[in-house]
Structure 1
Amino acid sequence: MRQSLLERIRQLSDQIYPEIINHRRWLHQNPELSFEEVQTSEYIANELNKLKIPFKKGIAGTGIIATIEGKSTNGPVVGLRADMDALPIQENSGLEFSSKKEGVMHACGHDAHSASLLGVAKILTQIKDSWEGTALLIFQPGEEKFPGGASLILKEGALNDPKPDIIIGQHVLPEMESGNVGFKPGMYMASGDEVHITVKGKGGHAAMPHTLNDTVLAASQIVVALQQVVSRIVPATIPTVLSFGHIEGKGATNIIPETVYLAGTLRTMNEEWREKIKTKIREIAKHTASAYGCECTIDIKDGYPMVFNNELVTQKALEMASVYLGQDQVEVMDTRMTAEDFGYYSQEFPCTFYRFGVKQKHDITGALHTPQFNLNEESLKTASGLMAFIAIGFLNTQS
């Protein structure tokens, strides 16, 4: 039965491919920033109505959660997530269906994610006779902007009834060949926190440093000293990055300013050590500033938690992908120090978050979050069909 179901999904994926392309292009032309996805939400709602799929609107503001039940509801509940928001980037891709909105662009593939999930919705609806349980389609707003739509969905209790047994998410990857997918069990993506440090002291004439507190020197030493957090405090087995990309001291060649401002990012793969690192940052920064006669305030803004892929769920999804695509098209990926608000789901539910390749065959595929980003639309056939197949693999099916 698995083979016949496999072929059914492949055939459906081929049949609805033009629809998925139309969805993606409409969404691409009409991007909306985080938590402003009003038109996007209306478009998705209209498509769900055409499929006669019940849904709830207004989740975390503009989100939608749709429910598809199989031939019975005795089976598991499987959540399938797609994000909907775009980025504040002026598009320069040269596409005929480029963004119509000045300074707003789908430069991270969320248009492809939502279009693919609409494709999954149609596939699952047309083969309801082949599976039991409930599929939750989570069209999520605000992935790109803190506090993240995932956190708000969980805070609102939108996934409490029914409560997913697992949640599956996918994301484009421009570096990967179109038609391929990649999985990483366990630690996959890092948490992402912002570190803001303000150093204050007595400024003055740079030619007379003995009469002042050198805030620039103190701030510089803080940056150097904090590198020990990664190299000497955090276990080497836990991937961690602490980088400062902004230093601002409004002095001059002959003026030491009274205030110097530092801003950086903290990334790690362990939630327990994430909190310990923040304590060490505060201690080291304050003591270092004090050693130079300065004071400092530290403000660490909590970002997204790490994405942890449940080993059992991810291994099964990988095996399903190997059946659907063939083993040669399934890759095991490395960890990534970038962050994703899917991490909120992975802290609450068994999850897997995988990548699907969108690399162009001939043209240059721009990197994520750039004005030139584009994708090979043939990859959307893989994205819809595979996600539907994996979902059914976790539902109580006849396959």
Structure 2
Amino acid sequence: MNKDQVQTLAAQIYDDVVANRRHLHANPELSFQEYETSKFIQARLQELGIPFTVMADTGVVGLITGELPSEQVIALRADIDALPITEANDKPYTSKNTGVMHACGHDVHTSSLLGVAHILQQLKADFGGTVKLIFQPGEERLPGGASIMIKEGVLQNPAPHHIIGQHVMPMIDAGKVGFRSGIYMASTDELYVTVTGKGGHGAQPQQNIDPVLITSHIIVALQQIVSRNADPRLPTVLSFGKVIANGATNIIPNEVKLEGTFRTLNEQWRAEAKILMKKMAEGIAESMGGSCEFTIMNGYPFLVNEEKLTANARAFAEDYLGKENVLDLDIWMAAEDFAYYSQVTDACFYRLGTGNAAKGTSYSVHHPNFDIDEDALKISSGLMAYMALKQLGN
């Protein structure tokens, strides 16, 4: 496949990709509620003459089959949901939905994959193989839209030999991309803890069982799971971000609610750690006269980039962008439900640079000021289309 052809088509549709991204950014919808987003995607695919099916209620799966003979199948994935964040930007495309924002770049992923669809549909006569376009709901919320899509057969009929996904990264400048082979992103589990004691007057602690004090001991002690039980060579993160003790300056409450996250890169250790955490927390509470209900909501597995596919994708990116614009990535302890796909078929999840300090687009994802340098959209669709075509053998 001629690289110049793809780059020319990508340049021609750039304005459309920007317009689609801005529309999606201005009209974000929360996980598993992406009804208007789904309709928008369906309408764009209909305009292009691409057949599609609807899965997982709001997910959309398009299919483009090249006219040359080939049995190869590749899937390309974009997530479509937004986050419960109030946007702080003042742009023409700022979110119209109060308290909802595309703060993780899923508007970029979706508009870029629509751009890929446009490019590949125009090249159907020139390539062989089948491309599955997966527009997936609910990446930001357990159990993860990917797990639902897989259960509903997204990786069947036809079954892709490979799957590729891209994700924005503001720490990388627009115009560049990043890759990492092997284990790349962490598993994630959500922790919900209720510590119960006996409330009462803060001036009479001897008459109470203080769940605030018990919870404090539990929070500190659980860090031993990381510092003294985890192999120091294995990245492990335990963080608590929510503590609710509805007492007052002189009131000890009956209970304290605690919420956190546990992340690692090894499934055996992941299972062991959850047993240790629960046992330790319950034991501390009991030893101090209280009780502890320790609930673990199992989240996404770790994400692994298959080495041969990732090496191929990186080589294609170097060809398309130049070696100086393709970077090495380190392990990333965030989690992604793309990991579910990587547990089923050969997968490559790479990073699209969107940062530009001069344009103020270096805020982290999940920040109310997150935005992108839209120059990133000049490469997002063309690169993914080119990688798909080359991986299909064209």
Q: TM-score range by the shorter chain?
A: over 0.9
1:354 CA displacement:
0.7
Q: Is 1:23 the counterpart of 2:16 in the alignment?
A: no
Q: CA RMSD in A?
A: 1.8
Q: Does residue 1:293 correspond to 2:289, yes or no?
A: yes
8 Å contact from structure 1 (residues 86, 105) kept in 2: yes
Rounded to whole Å, the distance in 2 between the matches of 1:248 and 1:88 is 20
Q: Deviations over 1:172-191 (max 9, x none)?
A: 11121110000111222212
Residues 39 and 241 (structure 1), Cα distance of their counterparts in 2 relative to 1, 3 Å cut:
same
Q: Does 1:280 align with 2:280?
A: no
Number of the residue aligned with 2:39:
42
- After superposition, the C-alpha distances for 1:191-217 in whole angstroms (9 at most, x for unaligned) are 221111212233444455444433222
**Aligned CA distance change for structure 1 residues 250 and 95 (closer, same or farther; 3 Å):** closer
> How far is 1:352 from its partner?
0.9
Indicate yes or no: 2:373 matched with 1:388.
no
- In the alignment, structure 1 residue 8 sits paired with structure 2 residue 5: yes
2:30 matched residue in structure 1? 33
Q: Is the aligned partner of 1:354 residue 2:353?
A: no
Structure 1 residues 102, 254: closer, same or farther in 2, change over 3 A? closer
Provide the secondary structure at the position in 2 that maps to 1:316. Answer: helix
Aligned length: 393
Please list the CA deviations of residues 241-288 of structure 1 after superposition, one character each: whole Å capped at 9, or x if unmatched. Answer: 111122233334444333222221111112222111111111111111
SS at match of 1:375: coil
Residues 290 and 361 from structure 1, CA distance in 2 versus in 1: closer, same or farther, beyond 3 angstroms?
Answer: closer
User: Secondary structure of the equivalent of 1:75?
Assistant: strand
Contact 2:82 2:100 in 1 (8 A): yes
CA displacement, residues 333-375 of structure 1 (integer Å, 9 cap, x when unaligned): 1112112111111121111111111123632113322232221
Contact 1:75–1:396 under 8 Å retained in 2: no
Q: 1:66 to 1:262 in 2, by over 3 A?
A: same
For 1:257, the equivalent position in structure 2 comes to 253
Question: TM-score, normalising length from structure 1?
Answer: 0.93
- In the alignment, the residues of structure 2 paired with residue 19 and residue 214 of structure 1 have an alpha-carbon distance, to the nearest angstrom, of 60
- Find the partner of 2:168 among 142, 153, 172: 172
1:304 match: 300
Q: Report the CA distance shift for 1:105/1:217 in structure 2 as closer, same or farther (over 3 A).
A: closer
Please give the alpha-carbon distance, in whole angstroms, between the structure 1 residues aligned to 2:41 and 2:123: 21
Q: Distance in 1 between matches of 2:69 and 2:189?
A: 40
Structure 1 partner of 2:365: 368
- For the 8 Å contact 1:146–1:303, the answer to whether it is kept is yes
1:223 aligns with 2:223: no
Residues 200 and 361 of structure 1: is their aligned pair in 2 closer, same or farther, counting only changes over 3 Å?
closer
- Confirm or deny that 1:202 pairs with 2:195: no
Contact 2:359 2:373 in 1 (8 A): no
Any conservation in 2 of the 1:73–1:134 contact (CA below 8 Å)? no
Q: Kindly provide the CA deviation profile for residues 73-125 of structure 1, in whole angstroms up to 9, marking residues without a partner as x.
A: 53321110011112233333222222233332222211111111111112112
Secondary structure of the residue aligned to 1:235 is: coil
Q: 1:28 to 1:245 in 2, by over 3 A?
A: closer
TM-score (norm 2): 0.94
Structure 2 residue matching 1:16: 3-state secondary structure: helix
Give the partner amino acid of 1:307: L
Residue in 2 that maps onto 1:377: 374
CA contact (8 A) 2:182 2:305 kept: yes
Greater mean alpha carbon deviation, residues 79-88 or residues 97-106: 97-106
In structure 2, how many angstroms separate the alpha carbons of the residues matched to 1:173 and 1:376? Answer: 11
Bigger Cα displacement from structure 2, 126-135 vs 298-307: 126-135
Letter in 1 for 2:22: R
Structure 2 unmatched runs, 5+: none
- Matched to 1:116, the amino acid is S
* Closer, same or farther: CA 315–153 of 1 in aligned 2, 3 Å: same
AA at the equivalent of 2:14:
Y
**Cα distance between partner residues in 1 of 2:357 and 2:222:** 44
- CA, structure 1 residues 82+292, in 2 after alignment: closer, same or farther (shift >3 Å)? same
Residues 1:89 and 1:249: Cα distance change in structure 2 (over 3 Å):
closer
Partner residue, 1:241: 237
Corresponding residue for 1:337?
A: 333
User: Which of 326, 347, 351 is the aligned partner of 2:322?
Assistant: 326
Structure 1's unaligned 5+ residue stretches are: none
Please give the per-residue CA displacement for 1:45-75, whole angstroms capped at 9, x wherever unaligned: 1221222111112x11111101111124533
Q: d(CA) in 1 for partners of 2:264 and 2:387?
A: 29
2:309 to 309, 313, 323: 313
8 Å Cα contact 1:203/1:255 also seen in 2: yes
